[in-house]
């Protein structure tokens, strides 16, 4: 396949969002040999984890990689945190899967809905460990993207996000019944990995 025929949606030095990794910067676009075939890769550096990943250009869209949102979209996502919403399912396994699917999609409004619903849920009852991990990942991703989009420091965005969360409104009025944790091991050993990007050890 002619590498010149493969379009590159992103440019070198452009900041992008990779839902499973966070906010990164395109450091290079390179053609490399893989099992006898020439593959074009984005080389993406993630400052928050000091990690570099190689992402095939052809798979970038399927992996949910997208540009950072505009300041207007960032403000809208931040404000949506305090809007009224319908409660999530009381079954934590179903809730976890629904939110994991939203995180994979990578839309900032979906990420905001994960943060909002799980924060409110945590005020009613302590989250299972996998949901807590998912909440922390979504919250960090949202903070990082909004900080870059609005050109503000992370401390300010974290404070603004918390203020919005404190204003969260839900229709859920009572503590949910005890949740079944019997499938915890299955989930821990199952869908925790949501991508197949190749990582480059950072020296």
CATH no. for residue 144? 1.20.58.1290
What count of residues does the chain have?
203
Tens-digit pLDDT profile for residues 88-114: 788 889 999 999 999 988 899 999 999
Tens-digit pLDDT profile for residues 179-198: 454 454 454 455 444 444 55
Within this chain, do residues 171 and 131 fall inside the same structural domain, yes or no? yes
Q: Look at residue 193 and tell me if it is in a domain.
A: no
3-state SS, residue 147: helix
| pLDDT higher than 50, residue 173 | no
Tell me how far apart the alpha carbons of residues 60 and 151 are, in angstroms, rounded to a whole number.
25
Q: Is 114 in contact with 122 (CB distance < 8 Å)?
A: no
- What number is the average pLDDT over the span 122-131? 91
Within this chain, do residues 24 and 48 fall inside the same structural domain, yes or no? yes
Q: What CATH number should be reported for the domain holding residue 13?
A: 2.40.10.170
Instruction: Kindly indicate the confidence band of residue 145, based on its pLDDT and cuts at 50, 70 and 90.
Output: very high
Within this chain, do residues 150 and 182 fall inside the same structural domain, yes or no? yes
| Predicted pLDDT of residue 106 | 83
| DSSP β-bridge partners for residue 196 | none
Within this chain, do residues 53 and 115 fall inside the same structural domain, yes or no? no
Within this chain, do residues 149 and 94 fall inside the same structural domain, yes or no? yes
Cα 9 to Cα 103, 115, 168, distances in angstroms: 21, 29, 36
| pLDDT higher than 60, residue 7 | no
3-state SS, residue 89: coil
Beta 169-170 vs 84-85: how paired, if at all? parallel
- What number is the average pLDDT over the span 136-151? 94
| Predicted pLDDT of residue 149 | 95
Q: Is 102 in contact with 113 (CB distance < 8 Å)?
A: yes
Mean pLDDT of all residues in the chain?
A: 82
DSSP state of 115: H
Q: Is 146 in contact with 74 (CB distance < 8 Å)?
A: yes
Q: Does this model's pTM top 0.85?
A: no
Tens-digit pLDDT profile for residues 53-88: 999 999 998 888 999 999 999 999 999 998 877 777
Q: Is 24 in contact with 45 (CB distance < 8 Å)?
A: yes
Within this chain, do residues 22 and 93 fall inside the same structural domain, yes or no? no
Residue 55: which domain range?
3-67
Maximum Cα interatomic distance, the chain, rounded to a whole number of Å: 60
Q: Look at residue 159 and tell me if it is in a domain.
A: yes
The pair of structure tokens assigned to 193 is 């990995």
| pLDDT higher than 60, residue 171 | no
**How many domains in the chain?**
2
């Amino acid at each position: 396949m002619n590498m010149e025929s493969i379009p590159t949606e992103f440019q070198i030095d452009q900041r992008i969002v990779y839902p499973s990794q966070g906010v990164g910067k395109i450091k290079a676009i390179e053609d490399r040999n893989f099992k006898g075939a020439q593959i074009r890769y984005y080389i993406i550096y993630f400052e928050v984890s000091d990690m570099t990943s190689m992402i095939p250009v052809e798979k970038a869209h399927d992996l949910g990689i997208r540009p950072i949102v505009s300041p207007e979209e960032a403000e809208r996502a931040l404000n949506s945190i305090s809007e009224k919403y319908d409660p999530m399912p009381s079954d934590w396994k179903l809730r976890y899967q629904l939110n994991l699917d939203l995180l994979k999609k990578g839309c900032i409004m979906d990420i905001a809905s994960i943060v909002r619903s799980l924060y409110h849920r945590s005020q009613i009852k302590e989250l299972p460990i996998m949901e807590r991990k998912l909440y922390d990942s979504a919250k960090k991703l949202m903070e990082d993207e909004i900080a870059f989009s609005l050109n503000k420091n992370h401390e300010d965005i974290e404070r603004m996000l918390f203020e919005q969360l404190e204003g969260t409104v839900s229709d859920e009025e009572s503590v949910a019944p005890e949740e079944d944790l019997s499938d915890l091991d299955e989930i821990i050993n199952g869908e925790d990995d949501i991508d197949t990007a190749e990582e480059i050890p950072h020296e």
